[in-house]
Structure 1
């Protein structure tokens, strides 16, 4: 096996891992939005864990929009964060593949 082929496999593996991590973050944010919209019990362990993770990955946008309807605020704030995470993930994966 050539050295270039091995390096390429490593770069592809790294890019795939970065894409997986980014998409998991996006999924956490989207699941949080769904749980809030559907009025999930905030005391539930699963809902609390997702809310905590979403607060970790919100990029400081959890209070960007403040509407009188809290659900709309959550949809917009965490939705924007999810879109930004998706863009960041796409750009980083593309850069890793291009550099490799």
Structure 2
């Protein structure tokens, strides 16, 4: 096996890991939106866990939009953060695979 083949495999693996991590982060944000829209019990352990995790990955956008309706605020703010995470992930994966 040549060095070039090994580098391409490594870049492919690194790209896959980056895609999985970025997608998981975006899915946590989307899950937080869904739980909010469906009026999940805010005292439930899963709801608390997802909300805390989403707060860690919202890129500081939890107050980007300030509509009067709290559900709309969560949908807009966390939705924008999820879209940005998807975009960042796509760019990082493309760069990593090109370098490989």
Instruction: Give the TM-score normalised by structure 1.
Output: 0.97
Partner of residue 89, structure 1: 89
Tell me what 1:21 maps to: 21
Give the match's secondary structure for 1:48. Answer: helix
Give the Å deviation of 1:5. 1.0
Q: Quick one: distance in 2 between partners of 1:4 and 1:74?
A: 46
2:11 paired with 1:11: yes
For the residue of structure 2 that corresponds to 1:61, the secondary structure is: coil
1:39 is displaced (CA, Å) by 0.3
The equivalent residue for 1:30 is 30
CA offset digits 1:5-53 (Å, max 9, x no partner): 1111111000000000000000000000000000001111111000001
Q: What is aligned with 2:65?
A: 65
In the alignment of these two chains, the number of paired residues is 100
5+ long unaligned stretches in structure 2: none
Query: 4+ runs of 1 displaced by more than 3 Å?
Result: none
Unpaired segments of 5 or more residues in structure 1? Answer: none
Deviation at 1:3, TM superposition (A): 1.7
State the Cα distance separating 1:93 from its structure 2 match. Answer: 0.6
Q: TM-score, structure 2 length as denominator?
A: 0.97
